[in-house]
Amino acid sequence: MLETLKEQVCEANLELNRRGIVIYTFGNVSGIDREAGLIVIKPSGIAYDIMKPEDMVVVDLKTGDPVEGKWKPSSDTKTHLEIYRAFPEVRGITHTHSINAVAFAQAGLDIPALGTTHADYFYGAIPCTRELTKEEVEEAYELNTGKVIVDCIKERGIDPMAVPGIVVKNHGPFSWGKDADAAVYHAVVMEAVAEMGLKTLLLNQTASMQQYVLDKHYKRKHGPGAYYGQK
C-alpha cells in the first residue's frame, strides 16, 4: 500500500510540472494512508526532472516525524499535517506558487466565483486567509500556516470538499481532494479560474455571478443530483 502511495504521490508531483504551474523546485504534493496514519510527501528542494517514487518521504501523521526516506521532507510538511488532522475527508494536498493564484494571495483577496468554470469545481469564492502575525511567523511558520488555513475554513463555515482550495495571504495557494491526483487537479483549475477572475476584474470591477448559476453548475457535477459525464 505504501509503495503504491509513493508512486501516486510522485506522479502527482510530476503532473504539476507537466501542467506548467510550478517552476524549478517550487511546490509539493502529498497523499495519506489514513489507516496507517502516514503521509507521503515530496522531498524538499529536489528537482522534478530527476524525481522518482523512492525519493518520496514518509512522515508520521501524529508526530510529524519522518519514518522512511533518504531525503528531508518538504518544508511545508507541517502545513499539510495540520490540514490532514483537521479534515479527515482530505486524502491529498497540493501547494504551488502559481502566478495568478499568488496574485490574489498577495493582494489579500478571495478568488471570487465569477463564472461557470469556477462553479464547476468550487462552490463559492476561494478564500484568502488572514495575515500571519510576527509571532506566528517567527515561532512556527509552517505549522501556523496550517492553523490559519484550518481556522479560515472553519470560521467561514466552508465545506472543505466543496471548496477544495485556499490562498494564504502573501504566500500562495493550497488545494486538496480525495487523493493526490484530485488535489493536483484542483490546483490546476484554481490557477485557471484565478487567471480568468483577474482578467474579468480588469475589464469590469463589479463583475458577479448569480447564486442560482453557481448552484446549477456545481450541483450538476457534484452530489446526488449530478448528471454531468458518463456513468
The residues annotated as belonging to the active site are: 120, 228
**Helix, strand, coil % over all residues of the chain, rounded to 5:** 45, 15, 40
Give the cell for residue 172: 500562495
Angle ∠(228,95,144) on CA atoms, nearest 5: 125
**Taking the CA of residue 2 as centre, how many other CA atoms within 13 Å lie in the half-sphere pointing to its CB?**
16
Q: Strand (E) positions, the chain? A: 28-33, 38-41, 57-60, 66-68, 92-95, 165-168, 172-177
φ and ψ of 174, to 5 deg? -125, 140
